[in-house]
Structure 1
Amino acid sequence: MDQFREKRAIRSRILANRATLGAAERRTLGAALRDRALALPEVAHAGCVACYVSVGSEPDTRELLTALYERGVRVLLPVLLPDLDLDWGVYAGEGSLTAGGRGLLEPAGDRLGVSGVAAADVVLVPAVAVDRRGMRLGRGGGSYDRALTRVPPGRLVAALLYDGELVESVPALPHDQPVGAAITPSGVHRFDARG
């Protein structure tokens, strides 16, 4: 099986599993992820965190965004561009989100440009799966792979996942960017993949 088909197969299996989770279970797991993320020393000491607004069956980030914002952390959120690259804007609370393309929510207000992510002390990214090397499998558009090339070395990049989505191996192509950690409701898994 070629790498593209293998990625599609893994993605399909995990997304089907996610679809079985009810809204209450997603909220409970999202609260556990929030607590795990906030307990990380890098997050606890961060002045600026890049994150994302979860959609659908993704691990819920709403409570995490609120907690970071209420702590006075500058939170950067992605804005999907037509070429699938990511611009960035500043989160100003739940009421500041507007509808973006592809059913996503994005911050209203000024844009920081595609290099805006470089200002983040910690970058929390979505993923469908992460393997034991820290290789991340996303949705297939390459948006975060491009964005992560702009994150300075030494900054924590962590994927938010459900338990069971940390897998033995995902196919890696030359453009795929690793993460330094995976955060699941049951724990934090660190890798030597970044920085």
Structure 2
Amino acid sequence: MPGERTKYAWRREIGATRAQLDPAEHAVEAAALAGATAQLTGTDEVVCAYVPVRGEPGDLRMLDAVRGRGATVLLPVTGEPGPLSWARYDGADSLRKARYGLLEPATETLPPEVVASSTTILVPALAVDRRGVRLGRGAGYYDRTLGAARAGVRLIAVVRDNELVDRLPEEPHDRRMGWALTPSGGLTPLGRDLPVSPE
């Protein structure tokens, strides 16, 4: 569509906004996300998640809330480009510094195929639209990983309230999300295509 913002422009704009976010506001949003996350899972479920970094919404309380419900939390382990490997999160003390400024569990590394055991996957995103189109950082790790997820898994993009938007640019390899999780809105179902605005 002529005049549509590119993924690069979206990334630059959202990255700048996140960089200017007041730490106190981030903490309030993180607490809200932790409360909402606690309601997502139950005992004996497997949840693939991540440690928020670089202004991403949420913090370790999201992961601890899931563990507190009796679920197993798996976090990504960085490696060569391709599907993500995983490791079990056993609390903040189990984390170590990794590449790209990330934190990863020091527990046993599990193969990418373990993602098929998950019932819920919390996916980092810069934005997501109401159709389920997710904007990531552009490396493609999650698009390559989610192909191994089983049918019916809940794919949840975690974003700030203003990062749930009407429409983002989409490419054929993009994997759509089923839900957005935001601080104020909680869990929001996605998947309705919006009409194209006339030029």
Q: Same fold (TM over 0.5)?
A: yes
**Secondary structure at the counterpart of residue 66 of structure 2:** helix
Q: Which structure 2 residues correspond to residues 1-195 of structure 1 after superposition, within 5 A?
A: 6-40=6-40, 43-44=41-42, 47-83=45-81, 85-187=83-185, 188-192=187-191
Query: Could you list the per-position Cα deviations for residues 72-94 of structure 1 after superposition, in whole angstroms to 9, with x for gaps in the alignment?
Result: 21100001112253110101110
Distance 2:162 2:44 in 1: 28
Instruction: Find runs of 4+ consecutive structure 1 residues off by over 3 angstroms.
Output: none
Moved more, 69-78 or 126-135: 69-78
**Secondary structure at the counterpart of residue 56 of structure 1:** coil
Q: Bigger radius of gyration, 1 or 2?
A: 2
Moved more, 94-103 or 80-89: 80-89
* Aligned AA (1:82): E
User: What TM-score, normalized by structure 2, do the two folds share?
Assistant: 0.89
**Secondary structure at the counterpart of residue 29 of structure 1:** helix
CA contact (8 A) 1:52 1:61 kept: no
**Secondary structure at the counterpart of residue 39 of structure 1:** coil
Distance 2:176 2:39 in 1: 22
**Secondary structure at the counterpart of residue 82 of structure 1:** coil
Shift of residue 115, structure 1, vs aligned partner = 1.2
Distance 1:133 1:8 in 2: 20
Count how many residue pairs are aligned between Structure 1 and Structure 2: 191
Distance 2:37 2:112 in 1: 24
**Secondary structure at the counterpart of residue 83 of structure 1:** coil
**Secondary structure at the counterpart of residue 172 of structure 1:** coil
Distance 1:81 1:166 in 2: 30
CA contact (8 A) 2:35 2:65 kept: no
Query: Could you list the per-position Cα deviations for residues 81-112 of structure 1 after superposition, in whole angstroms to 9, with x for gaps in the alignment?
Result: 12253110101110000111111001112111
CA contact (8 A) 1:46 1:122 kept: no
Shift of residue 27, structure 1, vs aligned partner = 1.4
- Percent identity reads 43
Distance 1:12 1:182 in 2: 21
Shift of residue 51, structure 1, vs aligned partner = 0.5
Shift of residue 173, structure 1, vs aligned partner = 0.9
CA contact (8 A) 1:77 1:90 kept: yes
CA contact (8 A) 1:84 1:141 kept: no
* Aligned AA (1:115): E
- Structure 1: gaps spanning 5 or more residues: none
Distance 1:191 1:69 in 2: 26
**Secondary structure at the counterpart of residue 154 of structure 1:** coil
**Secondary structure at the counterpart of residue 149 of structure 1:** helix
